[in-house]
Amino acid sequence: MAIRETLRNAIIDRRLAPGTKLSESEVGSLFDVSRTVARAALQMLAFEGLVKTERNRGAFVSNPSPEEARQIFASRRLIEPGIVAAAVERITPEDIAKFRRQLDEEQRYLNERGPAARRAEIKASGDFHLMLASVAGNVILQRFMDELVARSSLVIALYGRSGVSSCGHSEHTAVLDALEKGDGERAAKLMIHHIDHIEADLDLQLKQGSGLKDALSLA
């Protein structure tokens, strides 16, 4: 199952570009394992929308359409305020401290240069939302968020215009501050604005007609 996690991480921090073909044999030999288990991993990833499989053609890193992107963010706008509301009831001082450390790390990557720092920054800013889902204590919503955050990362890779700083660091700290004060109302509002800002930074013109453009972008 480690192979699935490895591929997942590679996809969400953009080492694998959308459209990249992931053949079973290739994945299998790369991880030194048979096609059977490689196939299982790809099926999992397909199930959570990170790769798309075409019959008798293979698996490809997902190339979400603008419409899909909109639906992903619509889902997040719906779910994350609920996560925040649940989190404010359960968050402990230890959690707060852990969040602070996480935000410090975000900050650190923000100041560094280079693609490795960019990848780490993306990962870290996504992890903030995931940690929030974790303290909310609902494993089902947590899994939904896992999927949504991962797919968001794909979408940002495709349609983001200002690079990586889209997931504003300061907005994360604002949410956490409200959470620490126990103001769930305000935290939820801030979270919605945060998601709005991420989506606003995207360029979601429908430059994909039906499916022939997929071929273009995967080159």
Partner DNA sequence: AACACCAAGATTGCATACGATTTGCCCAAT
Partner DNA sequence: ATTGGGCAAATCGTATGCAATCTTGGTGTT
Residues that bind a second copy (CB under 8 A): 36, 40, 43-44, 47-49, 68, 71-72, 74-75, 78-79, 82, 86, 138-141, 144, 148
Binds 57: which of DNA, a second copy, none (CB < 5-8 Å by kind): DNA
Closest approach, Cβ 140 to a second copy, in A, equals 5
Closest approach, Cβ 77 to a second copy, in A, equals 8
How far apart are the C-alpha atoms of 215 and 195, rounded to whole Å?
30
Give how far Cα 75 sits from Cα of 43, 130, 141, 199, Å: 23, 15, 11, 12
How far apart are the C-alpha atoms of 120 and 184, rounded to whole Å?
29
Q: Does 25 bind DNA (CB under 7 A)?
A: yes
Asked if residues 24 and 39 have their Cβ atoms less than 8 Å apart, the reply is yes
Q: Does 80 bind DNA (CB under 7 A)?
A: no
Vertex 58: Cα angle to 53 and 62 (nearest 5): 45
Beta-sheet pairing, 21-22 with 51-54:
unpaired
**Complex with a second copy: residue 78 or 97, whichever CB lies closer:** 78
H/E stretch holding 51? strand 51-54
Q: Of 126, 184, 114, whose CA–CA distance to 155 is shortest?
A: 126
Q: Does 59 bind DNA (CB under 7 A)?
A: yes
Q: Does 92 bind DNA (CB under 7 A)?
A: no
How far apart are the C-alpha atoms of 64 and 19, rounded to whole Å?
10
Q: Does 57 bind DNA (CB under 7 A)?
A: yes
Binds 165: which of a second copy, DNA, none (CB < 5-8 Å by kind): none
How far apart are the C-alpha atoms of 158 and 161, rounded to whole Å?
9
Site size toward DNA, by CB under 7 A: 16
Structure token pair of residue 189: 């509002």
Closest approach, Cβ 61 to DNA, in A, equals 13
Closest approach, Cβ 79 to a second copy, in A, equals 6
H/E stretch holding 52? strand 51-54
**Complex with DNA: residue 21 or 161, whichever CB lies closer:** 21
Q: Does 217 bind DNA (CB under 7 A)?
A: no
Closest approach, Cβ 163 to a second copy, in A, equals 25
Beta-sheet pairing, 51-54 with 58-61:
antiparallel
Q: Does 39 bind DNA (CB under 7 A)?
A: yes
Q: Does 58 bind DNA (CB under 7 A)?
A: yes
Residues that bind DNA (CB under 7 A): 23-25, 33-37, 39-40, 53, 55-59
